[in-house]
Structure 1
Amino acid sequence: MSPHNSSSNGSEDVLVLGDSTFLLVRSDAVEERPWMAGSPVCPLLKQHHIAHVGILRCRYPFEIVRTDQSGSYMMACFGGEGSVRVDGAWKTVRSGEACLLPPFVQNSFRCKEDKKWDFCWVRYLESREQKPIVSQNSPVLKEYDGGPLKAAIEGMYSETCGMNSPSILGYWVDLAHQYALRFAQPHDYDDRLWRLWNQVEPDLNRKWNLCELAEIAHVSEEHLRRLCRKRYGRSPMQHLTFLRIQRAKHLLSSTDDKIETIAHSVGYENAFTFSTLFKKWVGWSPSQYR
Protein backbone atom coordinates (compact mmCIF):
# COMPACT_ATOMS: atom_id res chain seq x y z
CA MET A 1 0.00 0.00 0.00
CA SER A 2 1.04 3.57 -0.53
CA PRO A 3 -1.67 5.95 0.78
CA HIS A 4 -1.89 9.60 -0.07
CA ASN A 5 0.11 12.06 1.99
CA SER A 6 -1.58 14.33 4.50
CA SER A 7 -0.29 16.72 7.12
CA SER A 8 -1.44 19.43 9.50
CA ASN A 9 -0.10 21.95 11.95
CA GLY A 10 1.68 21.06 15.17
CA SER A 11 -1.52 20.95 17.23
CA GLU A 12 -3.06 18.16 15.14
CA ASP A 13 -2.18 14.71 13.87
CA VAL A 14 0.31 14.47 11.01
CA LEU A 15 0.46 11.66 8.47
CA VAL A 16 3.07 11.83 5.69
CA LEU A 17 3.65 8.38 4.19
CA GLY A 18 5.33 9.24 0.88
CA ASP A 19 6.54 6.12 -0.91
CA SER A 20 6.36 4.01 2.25
CA THR A 21 4.73 0.59 2.04
CA PHE A 22 3.15 -1.43 4.80
CA LEU A 23 0.86 -4.29 5.69
CA LEU A 24 -1.65 -3.95 8.49
CA VAL A 25 -4.05 -6.16 10.45
CA ARG A 26 -6.67 -4.38 12.57
CA SER A 27 -9.11 -5.56 15.21
CA ASP A 28 -12.23 -4.13 13.57
CA ALA A 29 -13.45 -2.03 10.65
CA VAL A 30 -15.14 0.66 12.75
CA GLU A 31 -12.30 3.16 12.45
CA GLU A 32 -11.94 3.42 8.68
CA ARG A 33 -9.05 5.85 8.30
CA PRO A 34 -7.90 6.30 4.69
CA TRP A 35 -4.55 4.61 5.29
CA MET A 36 -6.32 1.60 6.82
CA ALA A 37 -8.65 1.09 3.86
CA GLY A 38 -8.55 -2.43 2.50
CA SER A 39 -6.54 -3.91 5.35
CA PRO A 40 -7.80 -7.22 6.76
CA VAL A 41 -9.64 -7.48 10.08
CA CYS A 42 -8.85 -9.95 12.88
CA PRO A 43 -11.33 -9.59 15.79
CA LEU A 44 -9.18 -11.92 17.93
CA LEU A 45 -6.78 -9.01 18.46
CA LYS A 46 -9.37 -7.54 20.85
CA GLN A 47 -8.71 -10.37 23.30
CA HIS A 48 -5.40 -8.66 24.11
CA HIS A 49 -6.71 -5.07 23.72
CA ILE A 50 -4.72 -4.71 20.48
CA ALA A 51 -6.00 -2.12 17.99
CA HIS A 52 -3.71 -3.11 15.12
CA VAL A 53 -0.36 -4.63 14.18
CA GLY A 54 1.74 -4.07 11.11
CA ILE A 55 5.01 -3.95 9.22
CA LEU A 56 6.23 -0.70 7.67
CA ARG A 57 9.03 0.00 5.20
CA CYS A 58 9.36 3.75 5.05
CA ARG A 59 11.45 6.34 3.31
CA TYR A 60 11.84 10.10 3.68
CA PRO A 61 9.69 12.25 4.06
CA PHE A 62 7.74 9.74 6.19
CA GLU A 63 6.42 11.35 9.37
CA ILE A 64 3.65 10.52 11.85
CA VAL A 65 2.43 12.57 14.80
CA ARG A 66 -0.33 11.28 17.05
CA THR A 67 -1.49 13.95 19.48
CA ASP A 68 -3.56 11.49 21.51
CA GLN A 69 -2.20 7.96 21.25
CA SER A 70 -4.85 6.10 23.24
CA GLY A 71 -2.76 3.01 23.90
CA SER A 72 0.77 1.71 24.31
CA TYR A 73 2.78 1.47 21.10
CA MET A 74 5.68 -0.96 20.69
CA MET A 75 7.85 -0.85 17.57
CA ALA A 76 10.77 -3.13 16.67
CA CYS A 77 13.22 -1.99 13.99
CA PHE A 78 14.63 -4.64 11.64
CA GLY A 79 16.25 -2.42 9.02
CA GLY A 80 17.85 1.02 8.79
CA GLU A 81 17.07 3.63 11.45
CA GLY A 82 14.60 6.40 12.26
CA SER A 83 13.79 8.99 14.90
CA VAL A 84 11.17 8.71 17.63
CA ARG A 85 10.21 11.42 20.09
CA VAL A 86 10.09 9.94 23.59
CA ASP A 87 10.56 11.45 27.04
CA GLY A 88 10.45 14.89 25.43
CA ALA A 89 13.43 14.34 23.11
CA TRP A 90 14.21 12.78 19.72
CA LYS A 91 15.96 9.41 19.91
CA THR A 92 17.32 7.19 17.15
CA VAL A 93 15.91 3.67 16.84
CA ARG A 94 18.25 1.39 14.88
CA SER A 95 18.00 -2.10 13.44
CA GLY A 96 18.04 -4.60 16.29
CA GLU A 97 16.38 -2.19 18.72
CA ALA A 98 12.83 -1.66 19.91
CA CYS A 99 11.01 1.31 21.40
CA LEU A 100 8.01 1.40 23.73
CA LEU A 101 5.78 4.47 23.88
CA PRO A 102 3.32 4.81 26.78
CA PRO A 103 -0.37 5.68 26.24
CA PHE A 104 -1.90 9.15 26.38
CA VAL A 105 1.16 11.08 25.29
CA GLN A 106 1.97 12.76 22.00
CA ASN A 107 3.82 10.24 19.84
CA SER A 108 5.96 11.30 16.88
CA PHE A 109 8.27 9.42 14.54
CA ARG A 110 9.97 10.28 11.29
CA CYS A 111 12.40 8.96 8.73
CA LYS A 112 15.86 10.47 8.32
CA GLU A 113 16.52 12.01 4.92
CA ASP A 114 19.38 9.69 4.00
CA LYS A 115 18.20 6.51 5.76
CA LYS A 116 15.65 3.80 5.12
CA TRP A 117 13.62 2.57 8.09
CA ASP A 118 11.86 -0.78 8.40
CA PHE A 119 9.95 -1.75 11.53
CA CYS A 120 7.02 -3.76 12.82
CA TRP A 121 4.62 -2.67 15.52
CA VAL A 122 1.89 -3.62 17.98
CA ARG A 123 -0.55 -0.86 18.92
CA TYR A 124 -2.68 -1.41 22.01
CA LEU A 125 -5.99 0.28 22.84
CA GLU A 126 -6.21 1.15 26.54
CA SER A 127 -8.53 3.33 28.61
CA ARG A 128 -7.32 5.73 31.28
CA GLU A 129 -8.88 3.44 33.91
CA GLN A 130 -7.08 0.37 32.56
CA LYS A 131 -3.56 -0.57 33.63
CA PRO A 132 -1.35 -0.30 30.50
CA ILE A 133 1.30 -2.81 29.53
CA VAL A 134 3.88 -0.12 30.38
CA SER A 135 5.18 -0.50 33.94
CA GLN A 136 8.00 0.84 36.08
CA ASN A 137 10.18 -1.94 34.69
CA SER A 138 9.38 -1.24 31.04
CA PRO A 139 12.26 -0.02 28.88
CA VAL A 140 11.80 2.90 26.52
CA LEU A 141 14.53 1.85 24.08
CA LYS A 142 16.90 -1.12 24.08
CA GLU A 143 18.24 -4.00 22.00
CA TYR A 144 15.58 -6.40 20.77
CA ASP A 145 15.34 -9.02 18.05
CA GLY A 146 12.22 -8.04 16.14
CA GLY A 147 12.43 -11.02 13.77
CA PRO A 148 9.96 -13.27 15.66
CA LEU A 149 7.44 -10.45 16.06
CA LYS A 150 7.72 -9.61 12.36
CA ALA A 151 7.17 -13.28 11.46
CA ALA A 152 4.08 -13.47 13.70
CA ILE A 153 2.57 -10.39 12.05
CA GLU A 154 3.35 -11.75 8.58
CA GLY A 155 1.68 -15.04 9.50
CA MET A 156 -1.36 -13.24 10.87
CA TYR A 157 -1.66 -11.10 7.75
CA SER A 158 -1.38 -14.10 5.41
CA GLU A 159 -3.99 -16.06 7.35
CA THR A 160 -6.49 -13.19 7.46
CA CYS A 161 -6.09 -12.74 3.70
CA GLY A 162 -6.32 -16.49 3.08
CA MET A 163 -8.19 -19.27 4.90
CA ASN A 164 -8.88 -16.98 7.90
CA SER A 165 -9.00 -19.91 10.32
CA PRO A 166 -9.81 -18.69 13.87
CA SER A 167 -7.77 -21.45 15.50
CA ILE A 168 -4.64 -20.63 13.49
CA LEU A 169 -5.18 -16.87 13.87
CA GLY A 170 -5.37 -17.41 17.62
CA TYR A 171 -1.80 -18.72 17.59
CA TRP A 172 -0.49 -15.78 15.55
CA VAL A 173 -2.28 -13.23 17.74
CA ASP A 174 -1.00 -14.80 20.96
CA LEU A 175 2.55 -14.88 19.57
CA ALA A 176 2.47 -11.21 18.56
CA HIS A 177 1.15 -10.22 21.99
CA GLN A 178 3.71 -12.32 23.86
CA TYR A 179 6.61 -10.96 21.79
CA ALA A 180 5.45 -7.42 22.62
CA LEU A 181 5.16 -8.31 26.31
CA ARG A 182 8.65 -9.83 26.25
CA PHE A 183 9.95 -6.34 25.60
CA ALA A 184 7.41 -4.31 27.61
CA GLN A 185 7.44 -6.50 30.71
CA PRO A 186 10.85 -8.20 30.85
CA HIS A 187 11.21 -10.93 33.46
CA ASP A 188 14.99 -10.80 33.73
CA TYR A 189 14.79 -8.03 36.33
CA ASP A 190 17.94 -6.96 38.06
CA ASP A 191 17.14 -7.32 41.77
CA ARG A 192 19.00 -4.10 42.48
CA LEU A 193 16.77 -2.11 40.14
CA TRP A 194 13.64 -3.87 41.38
CA ARG A 195 14.53 -3.01 44.98
CA LEU A 196 15.38 0.57 44.06
CA TRP A 197 12.20 1.51 42.20
CA ASN A 198 9.91 -0.41 44.55
CA GLN A 199 11.22 1.80 47.35
CA VAL A 200 11.14 5.01 45.32
CA GLU A 201 7.74 4.72 43.59
CA PRO A 202 5.56 5.01 46.74
CA ASP A 203 7.53 8.13 47.78
CA LEU A 204 7.75 10.19 44.59
CA ASN A 205 7.25 13.50 46.41
CA ARG A 206 10.64 13.10 48.08
CA LYS A 207 13.58 15.08 46.70
CA TRP A 208 15.58 12.12 45.51
CA ASN A 209 19.12 12.55 44.24
CA LEU A 210 21.44 10.19 42.39
CA CYS A 211 23.53 9.47 45.46
CA GLU A 212 20.48 8.27 47.43
CA LEU A 213 19.29 6.12 44.53
CA ALA A 214 22.71 4.48 44.21
CA GLU A 215 22.80 3.75 47.96
CA ILE A 216 19.44 1.96 47.81
CA ALA A 217 20.64 -0.13 44.85
CA HIS A 218 23.99 -0.78 46.61
CA VAL A 219 26.01 0.25 43.56
CA SER A 220 28.07 3.27 42.58
CA GLU A 221 26.40 6.20 40.86
CA GLU A 222 28.16 5.43 37.59
CA HIS A 223 27.21 1.75 37.73
CA LEU A 224 23.59 2.70 38.40
CA ARG A 225 23.68 4.91 35.32
CA ARG A 226 24.93 1.97 33.25
CA LEU A 227 22.29 -0.41 34.66
CA CYS A 228 19.43 2.01 33.95
CA ARG A 229 20.68 2.90 30.48
CA LYS A 230 20.87 -0.78 29.60
CA ARG A 231 17.49 -1.68 31.10
CA TYR A 232 15.35 1.37 30.36
CA GLY A 233 17.22 3.51 27.84
CA ARG A 234 17.09 6.27 30.47
CA SER A 235 19.37 7.62 33.17
CA PRO A 236 18.26 7.00 36.78
CA MET A 237 17.02 10.60 37.17
CA GLN A 238 15.19 10.43 33.83
CA HIS A 239 13.48 7.23 34.94
CA LEU A 240 12.49 8.95 38.17
CA THR A 241 10.91 11.69 36.06
CA PHE A 242 9.12 9.03 33.99
CA LEU A 243 7.58 7.54 37.15
CA ARG A 244 6.52 10.98 38.35
CA ILE A 245 4.91 11.82 35.01
CA GLN A 246 3.07 8.49 34.96
CA ARG A 247 1.73 9.14 38.48
CA ALA A 248 0.71 12.69 37.53
CA LYS A 249 -1.16 11.42 34.44
CA HIS A 250 -3.09 9.00 36.63
CA LEU A 251 -3.98 11.70 39.18
CA LEU A 252 -5.04 14.16 36.49
CA SER A 253 -7.43 11.65 34.95
CA SER A 254 -8.77 10.10 38.17
CA THR A 255 -9.02 13.00 40.65
CA ASP A 256 -10.15 16.60 40.82
CA ASP A 257 -7.01 17.68 42.69
CA LYS A 258 -5.56 21.03 41.75
CA ILE A 259 -2.54 20.93 39.44
CA GLU A 260 -0.43 22.52 42.18
CA THR A 261 -1.46 19.74 44.58
CA ILE A 262 -0.57 17.07 42.03
CA ALA A 263 2.76 18.75 41.35
CA HIS A 264 3.64 18.64 45.04
CA SER A 265 2.54 15.01 45.35
CA VAL A 266 5.00 13.92 42.67
CA GLY A 267 7.96 15.94 43.91
CA TYR A 268 7.71 19.41 42.34
CA GLU A 269 7.40 22.46 44.57
CA ASN A 270 6.81 24.79 41.64
CA ALA A 271 3.65 24.13 39.62
CA PHE A 272 5.03 26.06 36.63
CA THR A 273 8.18 23.87 36.56
CA PHE A 274 5.99 20.78 36.77
CA SER A 275 3.68 21.99 33.98
CA THR A 276 6.61 22.81 31.69
CA LEU A 277 8.17 19.38 32.24
CA PHE A 278 4.83 17.61 31.86
CA LYS A 279 4.20 19.28 28.50
CA LYS A 280 7.70 18.38 27.30
CA TRP A 281 7.20 14.69 28.12
CA VAL A 282 3.51 14.23 27.31
CA GLY A 283 2.87 16.80 24.59
CA TRP A 284 0.16 18.75 26.42
CA SER A 285 0.02 20.88 29.53
CA PRO A 286 -1.57 19.23 32.61
CA SER A 287 -4.78 21.25 32.14
CA GLN A 288 -5.02 20.19 28.46
CA TYR A 289 -4.37 16.57 29.40
CA ARG A 290 -7.14 16.68 31.98
Structure 2
Amino acid sequence: MSWPEYYEISDQCRTTTIDQGQLMALEKHQIVQCGVNYARQSFTVYRRNPNMHMLLFTCCGEGWLETPVRKWTLESGSVIHVPPGSANGFGITPKEHDADNETLDTENTWDIAWVMLSDNGEWAKTMPNEVTYSKTQCADMLRKTIDCLHQSMSLPYPVGNQLGDNLVEQIRLLVTNRLPTSMPISLQRLEKVFDRAKEQLHRQWSVAELAALHPCSEPHFHRLCQQYYCHSPIAHLTRLRMEYAARLLSATEWPIQHICESSGYPNPANFSTRFKKWSSLTPREFRQRFKY
Protein backbone atom coordinates (compact mmCIF):
# COMPACT_ATOMS: atom_id res chain seq x y z
CA MET A 1 0.00 0.00 0.00
CA SER A 2 1.44 3.38 -0.99
CA TRP A 3 1.69 6.21 1.54
CA PRO A 4 -1.36 8.49 1.34
CA GLU A 5 -1.32 12.19 0.55
CA TYR A 6 -4.28 14.24 1.76
CA TYR A 7 -5.45 16.63 4.43
CA GLU A 8 -8.60 17.01 6.53
CA ILE A 9 -9.02 20.27 8.44
CA SER A 10 -12.23 21.26 10.25
CA ASP A 11 -13.86 24.68 10.03
CA GLN A 12 -12.91 25.22 13.68
CA CYS A 13 -9.17 25.40 12.86
CA ARG A 14 -7.34 28.71 12.40
CA THR A 15 -4.05 29.07 10.54
CA THR A 16 -1.55 31.88 9.95
CA THR A 17 0.95 31.27 7.14
CA ILE A 18 3.85 33.47 6.02
CA ASP A 19 6.03 32.61 3.02
CA GLN A 20 8.84 34.14 0.99
CA GLY A 21 6.37 35.67 -1.45
CA GLN A 22 4.96 37.77 1.38
CA LEU A 23 8.20 38.56 3.21
CA MET A 24 11.62 38.80 1.55
CA ALA A 25 13.43 38.51 4.90
CA LEU A 26 12.53 34.79 5.03
CA GLU A 27 14.50 34.10 1.85
CA LYS A 28 17.68 35.52 3.41
CA HIS A 29 17.62 32.76 6.03
CA GLN A 30 16.26 30.10 3.64
CA ILE A 31 13.02 29.81 5.60
CA VAL A 32 10.44 28.74 3.02
CA GLN A 33 7.39 29.17 5.25
CA CYS A 34 6.41 29.61 8.85
CA GLY A 35 3.09 29.79 10.60
CA VAL A 36 0.84 29.03 13.54
CA ASN A 37 -1.96 26.47 13.63
CA TYR A 38 -4.75 26.50 16.19
CA ALA A 39 -6.19 23.05 15.49
CA ARG A 40 -9.66 22.26 16.81
CA GLN A 41 -12.00 19.31 16.40
CA SER A 42 -10.18 17.56 13.52
CA PHE A 43 -6.86 18.21 11.80
CA THR A 44 -4.92 15.64 9.75
CA VAL A 45 -2.24 16.07 7.07
CA TYR A 46 -0.42 13.31 5.15
CA ARG A 47 2.47 13.99 2.76
CA ARG A 48 4.19 11.44 0.52
CA ASN A 49 7.44 13.14 -0.53
CA PRO A 50 8.00 16.55 1.12
CA ASN A 51 10.95 18.55 -0.23
CA MET A 52 11.62 20.71 2.85
CA HIS A 53 12.75 20.33 6.45
CA MET A 54 9.68 20.55 8.70
CA LEU A 55 9.69 21.51 12.37
CA LEU A 56 6.51 21.31 14.44
CA PHE A 57 6.62 23.01 17.86
CA THR A 58 3.70 21.94 20.07
CA CYS A 59 2.63 24.86 22.26
CA CYS A 60 -0.58 23.49 23.77
CA GLY A 61 -2.69 20.35 23.57
CA GLU A 62 -1.46 17.14 22.00
CA GLY A 63 -0.86 15.83 18.50
CA TRP A 64 0.82 12.92 16.75
CA LEU A 65 3.17 12.35 13.84
CA GLU A 66 3.83 9.09 12.07
CA THR A 67 6.13 7.80 9.36
CA PRO A 68 6.00 4.38 7.66
CA VAL A 69 8.15 2.98 10.49
CA ARG A 70 7.13 4.78 13.69
CA LYS A 71 4.59 7.03 15.46
CA TRP A 72 5.30 9.83 17.96
CA THR A 73 3.05 11.54 20.50
CA LEU A 74 3.63 15.31 20.31
CA GLU A 75 3.23 16.78 23.78
CA SER A 76 3.06 20.42 24.84
CA GLY A 77 6.55 21.94 24.98
CA SER A 78 8.05 19.67 22.33
CA VAL A 79 9.53 19.92 18.84
CA ILE A 80 9.76 17.32 16.09
CA HIS A 81 11.92 17.66 12.98
CA VAL A 82 11.19 15.75 9.77
CA PRO A 83 13.85 15.88 7.02
CA PRO A 84 13.03 16.23 3.30
CA GLY A 85 11.95 13.07 1.52
CA SER A 86 10.46 11.48 4.66
CA ALA A 87 6.84 10.45 4.11
CA ASN A 88 4.81 11.52 7.14
CA GLY A 89 1.39 12.24 8.51
CA PHE A 90 0.47 14.37 11.51
CA GLY A 91 -2.62 15.60 13.27
CA ILE A 92 -4.48 16.39 16.45
CA THR A 93 -4.88 13.63 19.04
CA PRO A 94 -8.55 12.54 18.98
CA LYS A 95 -10.76 12.79 22.02
CA GLU A 96 -10.95 9.84 24.35
CA HIS A 97 -14.27 8.16 25.12
CA ASP A 98 -15.35 6.03 28.02
CA ALA A 99 -17.16 2.68 27.86
CA ASP A 100 -20.49 4.44 27.22
CA ASN A 101 -18.95 6.42 24.33
CA GLU A 102 -19.06 9.64 26.36
CA THR A 103 -16.35 12.21 25.57
CA LEU A 104 -13.87 12.56 28.42
CA ASP A 105 -12.12 15.73 27.20
CA THR A 106 -13.95 19.04 27.04
CA GLU A 107 -12.17 20.20 23.86
CA ASN A 108 -9.93 18.75 21.19
CA THR A 109 -7.03 21.20 20.80
CA TRP A 110 -3.54 21.30 19.34
CA ASP A 111 -1.72 24.62 19.02
CA ILE A 112 1.49 24.46 17.01
CA ALA A 113 4.09 26.80 15.54
CA TRP A 114 5.73 25.41 12.42
CA VAL A 115 8.68 26.26 10.22
CA MET A 116 9.60 24.89 6.78
CA LEU A 117 13.28 25.16 5.82
CA SER A 118 15.00 24.88 2.45
CA ASP A 119 17.02 21.74 1.78
CA ASN A 120 19.93 23.89 0.61
CA GLY A 121 22.66 26.01 2.12
CA GLU A 122 23.19 26.11 5.89
CA TRP A 123 20.16 23.98 6.79
CA ALA A 124 21.41 21.07 4.66
CA LYS A 125 24.59 21.10 6.76
CA THR A 126 23.09 21.66 10.21
CA MET A 127 19.74 19.83 10.31
CA PRO A 128 19.54 16.09 11.14
CA ASN A 129 19.04 13.51 8.43
CA GLU A 130 16.38 11.61 10.39
CA VAL A 131 13.24 12.37 12.36
CA THR A 132 14.14 13.78 15.78
CA TYR A 133 11.85 14.56 18.71
CA SER A 134 12.68 16.37 21.94
CA LYS A 135 11.28 18.67 24.61
CA THR A 136 11.96 22.37 24.11
CA GLN A 137 11.60 25.67 25.91
CA CYS A 138 11.08 27.55 22.63
CA ALA A 139 7.62 26.46 21.45
CA ASP A 140 5.48 29.24 22.87
CA MET A 141 8.15 31.87 22.21
CA LEU A 142 8.26 30.83 18.55
CA ARG A 143 4.46 31.03 18.32
CA LYS A 144 4.47 34.55 19.73
CA THR A 145 7.32 35.58 17.42
CA ILE A 146 5.45 34.36 14.34
CA ASP A 147 2.28 36.11 15.51
CA CYS A 148 4.28 39.34 15.93
CA LEU A 149 5.85 38.86 12.50
CA HIS A 150 2.42 38.52 10.93
CA GLN A 151 1.26 41.73 12.64
CA SER A 152 4.41 43.60 11.62
CA MET A 153 3.59 43.01 7.95
CA SER A 154 0.70 45.47 8.22
CA LEU A 155 2.91 48.29 9.51
CA PRO A 156 4.18 51.01 7.14
CA TYR A 157 7.71 51.18 5.75
CA PRO A 158 10.36 51.33 7.20
CA VAL A 159 9.12 50.26 10.65
CA GLY A 160 7.41 47.11 9.35
CA ASN A 161 10.50 46.04 7.38
CA GLN A 162 12.88 46.62 10.26
CA LEU A 163 10.67 44.73 12.70
CA GLY A 164 10.23 41.94 10.16
CA ASP A 165 14.00 41.55 9.71
CA ASN A 166 14.52 41.35 13.47
CA LEU A 167 11.69 38.88 14.02
CA VAL A 168 12.85 36.57 11.21
CA GLU A 169 16.32 36.59 12.77
CA GLN A 170 14.70 35.59 16.07
CA ILE A 171 12.88 32.73 14.33
CA ARG A 172 16.19 31.55 12.89
CA LEU A 173 17.79 31.61 16.34
CA LEU A 174 14.91 29.69 17.93
CA VAL A 175 15.05 27.04 15.21
CA THR A 176 18.83 26.74 15.37
CA ASN A 177 18.88 26.59 19.19
CA ARG A 178 15.79 24.53 19.92
CA LEU A 179 16.95 24.25 23.54
CA PRO A 180 15.93 20.76 24.57
CA THR A 181 15.37 20.79 28.30
CA SER A 182 16.47 18.15 30.78
CA MET A 183 13.97 19.37 33.39
CA PRO A 184 11.58 16.67 34.66
CA ILE A 185 8.03 16.97 33.31
CA SER A 186 6.71 17.68 36.83
CA LEU A 187 9.11 20.63 37.21
CA GLN A 188 8.19 21.97 33.78
CA ARG A 189 4.53 21.93 34.80
CA LEU A 190 5.38 23.55 38.12
CA GLU A 191 7.25 26.35 36.34
CA LYS A 192 4.24 26.92 34.08
CA VAL A 193 1.96 27.19 37.11
CA PHE A 194 4.04 29.96 38.62
CA ASP A 195 4.54 31.63 35.23
CA ARG A 196 0.75 31.85 35.14
CA ALA A 197 0.65 33.21 38.70
CA LYS A 198 3.22 35.88 37.76
CA GLU A 199 0.78 37.21 35.19
CA GLN A 200 -1.64 38.06 38.04
CA LEU A 201 0.42 38.66 41.15
CA HIS A 202 -2.24 41.12 42.35
CA ARG A 203 -4.66 38.19 42.63
CA GLN A 204 -5.08 36.46 45.98
CA TRP A 205 -4.03 33.00 44.83
CA SER A 206 -4.91 29.99 46.96
CA VAL A 207 -2.92 26.76 47.00
CA ALA A 208 -6.01 24.97 45.64
CA GLU A 209 -6.08 27.28 42.61
CA LEU A 210 -2.37 26.81 41.94
CA ALA A 211 -2.62 23.03 42.31
CA ALA A 212 -5.53 22.98 39.85
CA LEU A 213 -3.30 24.60 37.21
CA HIS A 214 -0.74 21.75 37.45
CA PRO A 215 -3.13 19.79 37.78
CA CYS A 216 -2.68 17.75 40.96
CA SER A 217 -3.92 17.54 44.54
CA GLU A 218 -2.95 20.19 47.12
CA PRO A 219 -0.78 17.77 49.15
CA HIS A 220 1.07 16.67 46.01
CA PHE A 221 1.55 20.29 44.96
CA HIS A 222 3.07 21.01 48.39
CA ARG A 223 5.43 18.05 47.96
CA LEU A 224 6.51 19.24 44.50
CA CYS A 225 7.28 22.74 45.78
CA GLN A 226 9.27 21.35 48.68
CA GLN A 227 11.13 19.02 46.31
CA TYR A 228 12.09 21.62 43.70
CA TYR A 229 11.99 24.94 45.57
CA CYS A 230 12.67 23.79 49.15
CA HIS A 231 9.72 25.77 50.48
CA SER A 232 5.92 25.85 50.37
CA PRO A 233 3.79 27.09 47.45
CA ILE A 234 2.83 30.28 49.30
CA ALA A 235 6.46 30.94 50.26
CA HIS A 236 7.45 30.63 46.60
CA LEU A 237 4.60 32.92 45.54
CA THR A 238 5.72 35.45 48.18
CA ARG A 239 9.25 35.35 46.81
CA LEU A 240 7.95 36.06 43.28
CA ARG A 241 5.91 38.98 44.63
CA MET A 242 8.89 40.45 46.44
CA GLU A 243 11.11 40.17 43.37
CA TYR A 244 8.43 41.89 41.29
CA ALA A 245 8.03 44.67 43.85
CA ALA A 246 11.81 45.17 44.00
CA ARG A 247 11.96 45.64 40.23
CA LEU A 248 9.19 48.23 40.37
CA LEU A 249 10.79 50.07 43.29
CA SER A 250 14.14 50.35 41.53
CA ALA A 251 12.97 50.98 37.95
CA THR A 252 9.81 53.10 38.26
CA GLU A 253 8.39 56.13 40.02
CA TRP A 254 5.21 54.32 40.94
CA PRO A 255 3.83 55.20 44.39
CA ILE A 256 4.58 52.53 46.96
CA GLN A 257 0.84 52.09 47.54
CA HIS A 258 0.43 51.19 43.87
CA ILE A 259 3.33 48.72 44.06
CA CYS A 260 1.79 47.12 47.14
CA GLU A 261 -1.50 46.49 45.36
CA SER A 262 0.17 45.30 42.13
CA SER A 263 2.19 42.79 44.15
CA GLY A 264 -0.85 41.33 45.89
CA TYR A 265 -0.70 43.30 49.17
CA PRO A 266 -3.65 45.69 49.60
CA ASN A 267 -2.38 46.52 53.11
CA PRO A 268 0.81 48.70 52.92
CA ALA A 269 1.88 47.80 56.47
CA ASN A 270 1.70 44.09 55.70
CA PHE A 271 3.65 44.64 52.46
CA SER A 272 6.34 46.68 54.24
CA THR A 273 6.79 43.97 56.89
CA ARG A 274 7.07 41.23 54.27
CA PHE A 275 9.43 43.24 52.10
CA LYS A 276 11.77 44.11 54.97
CA LYS A 277 11.89 40.47 56.04
CA TRP A 278 12.84 39.53 52.46
CA SER A 279 15.36 42.31 51.70
CA SER A 280 16.37 43.63 55.15
CA LEU A 281 15.23 47.08 53.94
CA THR A 282 11.92 48.89 53.94
CA PRO A 283 10.44 49.57 50.48
CA ARG A 284 11.45 53.25 50.77
CA GLU A 285 15.01 52.40 51.83
CA PHE A 286 15.29 49.87 48.99
CA ARG A 287 14.19 52.46 46.43
CA GLN A 288 16.68 55.02 47.71
CA ARG A 289 19.57 52.57 47.58
CA PHE A 290 18.83 50.81 44.28
CA LYS A 291 17.02 53.45 42.19
CA TYR A 292 18.28 53.30 38.57
Q: TM-score, normalised by structure 1?
A: 0.51
For each residue in 1:130-175, what CA deviation from the matched residue of structure 2 results, as whole angstroms up to 9, or x when unmatched? 7254237x87111112122112111110011333622211100010
Structure 2 residue runs of 5 or longer lacking an equivalent are 96-107, 183-292
Match of 1:73 in 2: 54
How far the C-alpha of 1:112 sits from its partner, in A, is 1.9
Distance (Å, rounded) in 1 between the aligned partners of 2:131 and 2:88: 16
Match of 1:227 in 2: none
The 3 A distance-change label for structure 1 pair 113 and 52 is same
Q: Bigger radius of gyration, 1 or 2?
A: 2
Match of 1:169 in 2: 164
Match of 1:161, SS state, is coil
**What amino acid is the match of 1:183?**
R
Q: Higher relative contact order by CA 8 Å / sep ≥ 6: 1 or 2?
A: 1
Which residue of 138, 141, 144 maps to 2:136? Answer: 144
Distance (Å, rounded) in 2 between the aligned partners of 1:84 and 1:118: 14
Match of 2:28 in 1: 47
Are residues 1:135 and 2:116 paired? no
Match of 1:120 in 2: 113
Match of 2:270 in 1: none
How far the C-alpha of 1:108 sits from its partner, in A, is 1.1
How far the C-alpha of 1:107 sits from its partner, in A, is 2.3
Is this contact kept in 2: 1:70–1:127, CA < 8 A?
no
Match of 1:180 in 2: 175
Match of 2:124, SS state, is coil
Distance (Å, rounded) in 2 between the aligned partners of 1:13 and 1:128: 28
Q: How does 1:260-271 map to 2 (within 5 A)?
A: none
Match of 1:131, SS state, is helix
Match of 2:52, SS state, is coil
Distance (Å, rounded) in 2 between the aligned partners of 1:21 and 1:10: 30
For each residue in 1:45-87, what CA deviation from the matched residue of structure 2 results, as whole angstroms up to 9, or x when unmatched? 0111111111101124211112121111111111100111147
Distance (Å, rounded) in 2 between the aligned partners of 1:129 and 1:77: 24
Distance (Å, rounded) in 2 between the aligned partners of 1:174 and 1:85: 30
For each residue in 1:2-26, what CA deviation from the matched residue of structure 2 results, as whole angstroms up to 9, or x when unmatched? xxxxxxx965521211121111111
The 3 A distance-change label for structure 1 pair 116 and 10 is farther
Distance (Å, rounded) in 2 between the aligned partners of 1:181 and 1:58: 25
Identity %, equivalent residues: 16
Q: TM-score, normalised by structure 2?
A: 0.51
The 3 A distance-change label for structure 1 pair 57 and 155 is same
Are residues 1:98 and 2:79 paired? yes
Distance (Å, rounded) in 2 between the aligned partners of 1:70 and 1:42: 20
The 3 A distance-change label for structure 1 pair 130 and 52 is closer
How many residue pairs were aligned?
165
The 3 A distance-change label for structure 1 pair 142 and 173 is same
Match of 1:154 in 2: 147
The 3 A distance-change label for structure 1 pair 170 and 181 is same
Distance (Å, rounded) in 2 between the aligned partners of 1:67 and 1:85: 12
The 3 A distance-change label for structure 1 pair 76 and 121 is same
CA RMSD of aligned residues (A): 2.8
Structure 1 residue runs of 5 or longer lacking an equivalent are 1-8, 29-40, 189-290
Q: How does 1:225-236 map to 2 (within 5 A)?
A: none
The 3 A distance-change label for structure 1 pair 175 and 108 is same
Match of 1:17 in 2: 9
**What amino acid is the match of 2:50?**
Q
The 3 A distance-change label for structure 1 pair 160 and 10 is farther
Which residue of 50, 56, 64 maps to 2:37? Answer: 56
Match of 1:27 in 2: 20
